Structure 1
Amino acid sequence: MKLLEKLEDPDRPLLGPNVKALKFWGLLLPESRSKKYFYLFMHFAVTVFTATEYIDVWFVKSDLALLLNNLKITMLATVSVLKVTTFLLWQNAWRDLIGYVSRADLEQRATSDSRKLALINGFTGYCRKITYYYWFLMYTTVAIVTVQPIFKFFSSAAYRLDVQSGNGTYLQVVSSWIPWDKNTLPGYLLASIYQTYAAIYGGGWITSFDTNAIVIMVFFRAELELLRIDCAALFDDEKSFGDMAFMRRLKECHRRHTELVKHSRLFDSCLSPIMLLYMFVCSVMLCVTAYQITIETNPMERFLMTEYLVFGVAQLFMYCWHSNDVLYASQDLSRGPYESAWWSRDVKYRKNLYILVAQFNKVIVFSAGPFTKLTVATFIRILKGAYSYYTLLSQSQMNKT
């Protein structure tokens, strides 16, 4: 498709669409001062909107259904605000990461090794699928959230009559506090415009940040696998092989792994605080959404909540899954030197090879704060915790009735 082709960038063959999304939504600030202030104002407007969601919690605290619905949206919005805030504060670190990924990726694409090229192309295609499918899932969720009030107004005669007679209130796009009456048509329309803007822009925040982070994770895994291939080829080309060739290859593998460890730690320092909060938020959000699905009687409402639940689970799963891939690829990297013809070489080569293996023992793993690693096992524990919260919430409501 021509539209997708325009998202490609020859200088960033792996991160092209992701960097353009970051620029479009203002996470990577432009050089122009006027455009930079424009994006900062847009960010500020959504941040203020998130604060109004917290204010609204006070006004709906007596209604459990409204309270739960508000909490799950508000907490997810809080994570989004944190993502953007940290991205702006640590702008130089993220630019450094993006520059490193693009530079290292271009270096590897210059190879003539068909095996490595096939691996690179496979990972690139995978990153495109992850990016575009994630965008589709997020924007579908945003579209459902924004059109839900209109759909309910025209599909439910009872709701429409209640609103028109003044016995009911308008269904909001996103529950938030507004300093005017939302139950009048003009006030409701103004509130809906602001809420729709926040939902769309917040969705842009999430998609651009998450897909960029996930593709960088995929890059780390790809670089580890490519490095393993190069380590296995340390003693290839026996006719032209010598001390100089071996040391050159050895030093290059050591340099690449050192850079990989350095930038993986930088990446983890940028992502870890966000993932710590997100794991807590996701546990609450999954619990609340699952409970709402069980008590909801309207099939359409139940479908919308299920779609929201799927998005929440998919979002956390992709982080844990790809972080888990990096962990196992890092652990397997030390096998690379032993897959070479080390056994047929002199002892002096084996000693240098052992030094490289010692370097590879620095395992790369991403974390969620200082408490846990970002792995599939952690994801399963979160699901178990969310189910426990759901059971507790369900039983407490049954006891009240």
Structure 2
Amino acid sequence: MFVLKKLENPKRPLLGPNVKTLKFWGLLLPKNVYMKYFYIIMHLMVTAFTATEYVDVWFIRNDLNLLLNNLKITMLATMSVVKVTTFLYWQKHWKDIIEYVTRADLAQRATDDVIKNDLIKKFTKYCRKITYFYWSLMFTTVVIVIFHPLFKFFLSQSYRENVKEGNEDYLQVVSSWVPFNKSTIQGYLAASIWQSYASIYGGGWITSFDSNAMVIMVFFRAELEMLKIDCANIFGTEWNPVSDKVAFERLKDCHRRHVELVKYSRLFDACLSPIMLLYMFVCSVMLCVTAYQITSETSAMQRFLTTEYLVFGVAQLFIYCWHSNDVYFASLRLSEGPYESTWWCRHVSHRKNLFILTAQFSRVVVFSAGPFTKLTVATFISILKGAYSYYTLLSKSQTK
């Protein structure tokens, strides 16, 4: 708990842990020139490692099991590289989004509204849970990937005997090409260290990027719900109405907040949408490959390890689709807010202004995966169906 408290930042009550991990893994580059170039070099090294994974495909193309293992890891590594590359390229946009989220969050926390304060606490607690859960899931996956060769060596007697007799090669941490002989113990250890480094750093990229994006999605949903509450309270209550001047200021504030929310949600979608389009394709292949390996694998240990990887792949895409779906429906319900106010007992001029505000709320906030589809639970189900279809084709092609 002490470690988790150290991650908190009073100046960023919602995004504190997420911003710190973005800085720790070098996605938010520091101002110090030497540290900045240090992180850039680290990024280039992992990018170069990902390229060696593609090179290794040529050497293992005749072994289906090795090819599938390489494919699922390589595509995940490619996603990591794309995420980091786009984050660095659009660094200014991401900083603007983070600053907006922090600014709007602090403004809402300054309120004395009991309902809104309870809502803020609820969403903050939820953000911490989803962040730490995702970190734990990624950490578990990385540990399994790195120590998988050791697990197999100590738990599989046949594998140990085959390796000692020279009938089977050492199982690699990650399938990749190196410019030296991996079949010797020295070469294998050197390759394992290099592969472990890339796995750890790539895992750090994924956790920092994804958890930050997910918390921002939760923020947009929370902001929409609080905006709906404020719209319902524009004119006060029937027993405690506010003056025309106060009502007009509240209406202007709701208008300003919605304009700003739409602006930054579109900027966020512009930064995330291309990544999610690639994500959907990668996850479809990953789910197909891991499902095939689970059904074709005879070792119980290997099935367990592959199942954990499948859970991680499903969880990645599901969490994105789930939170985007929440934002979408919160946006649809936003127009109910003005109608819940005491508009019927106000002057016709106020009703006209409220009608204009309601029309503005018709701009639906929803995130997308490229120009083709919205990021919703329905889309997630479609991807699962597609992955199952690919799995069926792969299984039938191997039984013939």
TM-score, normalised relative to structure 1 = 0.98
Partner of 2:316: 315
Shift in Å, 1:164: 2.0
Alignment of 1:270 with 2:271, yes or no, is: yes
Aligned counterparts of 1:282 and 1:134: Cα–Cα separation in 2: 16
Partner of 2:199: 199
Amino acid at match of 2:10: P
Aligned counterparts of 1:134 and 1:300: Cα–Cα separation in 2: 23
Shift in Å, 1:241: 2.3
Partner of 1:21: 21
Partner of 1:392: 393
Q: What do residues 225-244 of structure 1 show as CA deviations (whole Å, max 9, x unaligned)? A: 00000000011167672221
Q: What do residues 73-124 of structure 1 show as CA deviations (whole Å, max 9, x unaligned)? A: 1011111100000000000000000000000000000000000000000000
Partner of 1:241: 242
Partner of 2:378: 377
Partner of 1:286: 287
Aligned counterparts of 1:311 and 1:84: Cα–Cα separation in 2: 20
Amino acid at match of 1:97: I
Question: Which stretch shifts more, 318-327 or 242-251?
Answer: 242-251
Tell me how large the CA RMSD over aligned residues is.
0.9
Shift in Å, 1:353: 0.2
Partner of 1:138: 138
1:176-191 equivalence runs, <5 A? 176-191=176-191
Aligned counterparts of 1:222 and 1:252: Cα–Cα separation in 2: 17
Aligned counterparts of 2:92 and 2:139: Cα–Cα separation in 1: 29
Aligned counterparts of 1:41 and 1:102: Cα–Cα separation in 2: 30
Amino acid at match of 1:322: H
Amino acid at match of 1:368: A
Partner of 1:57: 57
CA contact (8 A) 2:76 2:282 kept: yes
Alignment of 1:211 with 2:207, yes or no, is: no
Partner of 1:362: 363
CA contact (8 A) 2:235 2:241 kept: no
Aligned counterparts of 1:128 and 1:381: Cα–Cα separation in 2: 29
3-state SS in 2 of match to 1:378 = helix
Amino acid at match of 2:283: C
1:155-174 equivalence runs, <5 A? 155-174=155-174
Aligned counterparts of 1:110 and 1:371: Cα–Cα separation in 2: 40
Aligned counterparts of 2:370 and 2:319: Cα–Cα separation in 1: 18
Alignment of 1:8 with 2:8, yes or no, is: yes
Partner of 2:223: 223
Q: What do residues 356-386 of structure 1 show as CA deviations (whole Å, max 9, x unaligned)? A: 0011011000000000000000000000000
Q: What do residues 149-194 of structure 1 show as CA deviations (whole Å, max 9, x unaligned)? A: 1111122222112212222100000000111110000000000000
3-state SS in 1 of match to 2:107 = helix
Partner of 2:83: 83
Shift in Å, 1:288: 0.6
CA contact (8 A) 2:80 2:206 kept: yes
Aligned counterparts of 2:112 and 2:246: Cα–Cα separation in 1: 18
**Number of residues paired by the alignment?**
399
Q: What do residues 302-361 of structure 1 show as CA deviations (whole Å, max 9, x unaligned)? A: 000000000000000000000000000001000000001111212111100001001101
**Structure 2: gaps spanning 5 or more residues:** none
Q: What do residues 32-73 of structure 1 show as CA deviations (whole Å, max 9, x unaligned)? A: 000001101111110000000000111111011111111111
3-state SS in 1 of match to 2:27 = coil
Question: Which stretch shifts more, 356-365 or 150-159?
Answer: 150-159
Amino acid at match of 1:213: A
Aligned counterparts of 2:360 and 2:53: Cα–Cα separation in 1: 49
Amino acid at match of 1:84: V
Aligned counterparts of 2:328 and 2:80: Cα–Cα separation in 1: 26
Partner of 1:324: 325
Aligned counterparts of 2:167 and 2:69: Cα–Cα separation in 1: 21
Alignment of 1:341 with 2:342, yes or no, is: yes
TM-score, normalised relative to structure 2 = 0.99
Runs of 4+ in structure 1 deviating by more than 2 angstroms, as ranges, are 237-243
3-state SS in 2 of match to 1:223 = helix
Shift in Å, 1:6: 0.4
Aligned counterparts of 2:158 and 2:246: Cα–Cα separation in 1: 80
Aligned counterparts of 2:19 and 2:141: Cα–Cα separation in 1: 22
1:87-166 equivalence runs, <5 A? 87-166=87-166
Q: What do residues 220-276 of structure 1 show as CA deviations (whole Å, max 9, x unaligned)? A: 000000000000001116767222111100110000000000000000000000000
3-state SS in 1 of match to 2:47 = helix
